[in-house]
Structure 1
Amino acid sequence: MTQTALARRVNSSKSQISDIERGKANPSAQLRSALDGAIGFGQLERLWDDLTGGRRPAWLDEIATAVQEAEAVYEYQALAFPSYLQTEGCARALIRSALPWLPPDEISARVRERMDRARNMDESLHPMLWLVIDRSLLSRRYGGPDATREQLAHIAALAERERLTLQVVPTDHPKHPGNSGSFRVLTMRDDPDIAYVESAEEGRVLTNSTSVARRRMLFAALQGVALDPESSLRAIHEEMKRME
């Protein structure tokens, strides 16, 4: 395709296409999207993120879809279990507390959507799941004792049937690699691996290979200081007994 033909297709100019080809100009987000549709086959945006550092804002639907399509998910959480592992009572309490301005029908819609994804994750064999949590998470009572007991029982059941590999980091460990916040690393089937990091205000997708490798390293460090899976499962059952 000539520069003129491509420019016409993406509503640009031959000179702008030429400047981009020669590295003299960066395409705008709108032009990148148009180029992706014309000749990128959906890969240009992903490659652009990788080359430029890949710290773009994450769309929740995008992340949820990536989790479902991944080969493996490695996640660390300090405050709540991942949304795809939550039970209804816990999910409703978390959504209502985090987004108190939402009307009840919108909260219910979000809960239903989250439960559909959790059900799919429960029934599917993929992706493989590795989860490291801070011990303090077990004592949080989102939705009250009954909802918490149901949530812990669900996690225990997943671990017992080896759908999930769970490890718990003791709260009194002197060196805690997870103090920078929650994150997950996704091993994809046909695409490069990605990482997703969370903050109080937003989540961001990391596609740069160095950034993803560092999150893998951090996850390995967390596994190193955490209890083994058997002891972690025992910690969940002990917490459930305290609630009786």
Structure 2
Amino acid sequence: MTITGQRNGLQPAEPGEEKRPEAPEDSEGAADFFRAIGKMIKLLRERKGLTQKEFGQLIGYGEDQVSSLERGRRTLHPDMLEIVDRVLDAGGLLLALKPDLEAAKSRARVRHPAWFRDFVRLEAEAVELHGYSTHFIPGLLQTEQHARALYYMRRPLLAEQTIEERVMARLARQTILAKWPFPEFSWIIEEAVLRRPIGGWDVHHGQLEQLIRIGRQRNVSLQVMPMDRAEHAGMGGPFTLITPKGRGQVGYVEAQNISRLCTVAEEVRILASQYGLLRAQALTPPESTALIQKMLGER
């Protein structure tokens, strides 16, 4: 099947486009603001007598996510400020920053590779997102340590500054998981992906814990495709289906830093049909959680 796109808002990358130099991005002011909020949250958390892990459990974040938030590497979705303000007994102090946070997020432009930007724009508008992954943990589900390990092993090698920018960009995308009203998410991940200890076993352990944590969200369905299946509808490779608000569903396919958006109705229908079959062939969400928990107990 040929995946096609349009070069107008749904613009696919051309081969080699990722190698073009990117324009300087003026996000220093926004980054300083995010760091300031992080320091404020850390101070309020410590005054409350909460550890990062305890605080994370109260707001649905992992310990590493809280650490990233307090260092300004991760930004809160503005709608999360009300929850954090209440949990930390901030008395409206954090909630008062909501307009400023929204403005800072609109000013901040994170560095995504050129070939990936169209997908990120659609993802941010999604009311539904469904993904099938064959080689890696989907970006929206990755821990900071896992994402950094992936970028460090990239070939050709990335500069240290580029790695940090890419990690921050990936974490910034994850604010969609807390956006209200909640988008509907589902992912099917190959079992082999979950058995590969990217970054070492400590990093991998944290990644598996995050999958369980996110998989418990009421707007998320997480399934594992076991390696012993005799029939498999996804042999054509990974893909994502996105439904932006007020628009029709589109498909997205990526390989070797070349991406394509699929907007032709019949081709999107075929991808959606394949995804339906994959969901039927994969383990159920409870079975998938049980398998991941078993993996955690193996080390």
TM range (shorter): 0.7 to 0.9
Note the 1:64-75 alignment, pairs <5 A: 64-75=120-131
1:122 Cα shift? 3.4
Which residue of structure 2 aligns with residue 94 of structure 1? 150
- Corresponding position of 2:187: 131
Query: Across the two proteins, how many residue pairs are aligned to each other?
Result: 194
Whether contact under 8 Å (1:176, 1:222) holds in the other structure is yes
Q: Write the distance in 2 (CA, Å) between the matches of 1:238 and 1:150.
A: 14
**2:129 partner SS:** strand
Unpaired runs of 5+ in structure 1?
1-31, 34-44
Name the TM-score, length of structure 2 as normaliser: 0.61
Query: Could you say if the C-alpha distance between residues 206 and 83 of structure 1 is closer, same or farther in structure 2, counting changes exceeding 3 Å?
Result: same
Match of 2:277 in 1: 221
Normalising by the residue count of structure 1, what TM-score does the alignment of the two structures yield? 0.74
Q: Secondary structure at the match of 1:131?
A: strand
Q: Rg bigger for which structure? A: 1
Aligned 8 A contact 1:55 1:206 in 2:
no
Residues 1:187 and 1:103: Cα distance change in structure 2 (over 3 Å): same
Answer whether contact 2:140 2:173 (CA < 8 A) is retained: yes
Tell me the equivalent position of 2:294.
238
Cross-structure match for 2:138: 82
Q: 1:158-210 CA deviation, whole Å, 9 max, x = no partner?
A: 11232420111110111111221110001122222110012234111100001
Map 1:152-171 to 2 at 5 A: 152-171=208-227
Displacement of 1:112 after TM fit?
Answer: 1.2
1:135–1:170 Cα contact (<8 Å) kept: yes
SS for the counterpart of 2:192 is: helix
Structure 2, unmatched stretches of 5+, are 1-5, 15-113
SS in 2 for 1:205: strand
Query: In the TM superposition, what whole-angstrom CA distance separates every residue of 1:7-32 from its partner, at most 9, and x where no partner exists?
Result: xxxxxxxxxxxxxxxxxxxxxxxxx9
Aligned-partner Cα distance in 1 for 2:195–2:278: 20
Q: Match for 1:140 among 187, 196, 204?
A: 196
Go from structure 1 to structure 2 and tell me whether the alpha carbon gap of 1:172 and 1:212 turns closer, same or farther (over 3 Å shift).
same
Work out whether residues 56 and 206 of structure 1, in 8 Å CA contact, stay in contact via their aligned partners in 2.
Answer: no
Superposition RMSD in Å: 2.1
Task: Find the aligned partners of 1:181 and 1:223 in 2 and give their Cα distance.
Answer: 15
Alpha-carbon distance in structure 2 between the residues aligned to 1:55 and 1:111 = 23
Runs (4+) of structure 1 exceeding 4 A deviation are 54-58
* Matched-pair contact (CA < 8 Å) for 1:170–1:226: yes
Q: Is the 8 A contact 1:76 1:184 kept in 2?
A: yes
Give the deviation of 1:56 after TM superposition: 6.2
- Percent identity for Structure 1 against Structure 2: 27
Q: Which moved more, 1:120-129 or 1:195-204?
A: 120-129
Equivalent residue in structure 1 for 2:245, among 166, 185, 189: 189
Q: Are 1:180 and 2:232 matched, yes or no?
A: no
CA distance in 1, matches of 2:215, 2:293: 12
How far apart, in 2, do the equivalents of 1:238 and 1:96 lie?
Answer: 28
Distance 1:178 1:148 in 2: 25
